């Protein structure tokens, strides 16, 4: 019986939403975004091998352009093992982290924990909400 209870207590987390405090605007992410983006790419093991630095710089610059104008940035929405997306039409600033790999290979909990810690260290108040976007997992090819 204890084994069954233990198994029931193990809940797999599929995706996370980093939801910032109400007083945070997109432009408030500007000072930390390059480091945040690089941290995400590093944790997700998604740095490109050839010309990687140029590519990462281009992706960061695309996001910074929107942040400077206090607009929703694209995040990292390309085909990859993990995505970081800023959803449309939200009343608050948030982004979603989700894997595009088999569940048993996912490290979404560890990646989310590291990113949350980074945000705390940079005084960006937020909460982590798990599995709010279940439908994202269904679109995997």
User: What is the strand order of the sheet 126-130 is part of?
Assistant: 82-85, 94-99, 16-20, 126-130
Give the integer Cα–Cα distance in Å for 25 and 21.
9
Q: Do residues 13 and 113 make contact, with C-beta atoms less than 8 angstroms apart?
A: no
Give me Rg for the CA atoms of the chain.
Answer: 16
Token pair belonging to 92: 């608050």
CA angle 51, 78, 98 (to 5 degrees): 120
Q: What is the pLDDT of residue 133?
A: 74
Q: What is the pLDDT of residue 141?
A: 44
Give the integer Cα–Cα distance in Å for 59 and 121.
24
Give the integer Cα–Cα distance in Å for 74 and 67.
10
How many CB atoms are located within 10 Å of the residue 17 CB? 20
pLDDT mean over 42-46: 90
Q: Is 136 helix (H, G, I), strand (E, B) or coil?
A: helix
Structural domains of the chain sorted by starting position, each given as residue range(s) with its CATH number in brackets: 13-138 (3.30.70)
116 pLDDT more than 90: yes
Q: Is 130 helix (H, G, I), strand (E, B) or coil?
A: strand
- Minimum mean pLDDT among 46-60, 84-98, 107-121: which range? 46-60
């Amino acid at each position: 019986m204890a084994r069954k209870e233990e198994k029931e207590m193990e809940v797999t987390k599929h995706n996370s939403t980093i939801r910032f405090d109400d007083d945070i605007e997109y432009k408030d992410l500007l000072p930390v975004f390059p480091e945040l983006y690089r941290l995400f790419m590093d944790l997700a093991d998604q740095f490109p091998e050839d010309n990687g630095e140029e590519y990462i710089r281009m992706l960061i610059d695309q996001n910074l352009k929107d942040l400077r104008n206090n607009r929703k940035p694209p995040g990292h929405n390309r085909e990859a093992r993990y995505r970081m997306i800023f959803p449309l039409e939200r009343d608050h600033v948030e982004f979603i982290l989700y894997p595009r790999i088999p569940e048993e290979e996912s490290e979404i909990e560890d990646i989310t924990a590291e990113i949350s810690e980074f945000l705390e260290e940079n005084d960006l108040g937020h909460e982590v909400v798990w599995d709010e976007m279940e439908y994202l997992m269904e679109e995997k090819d």
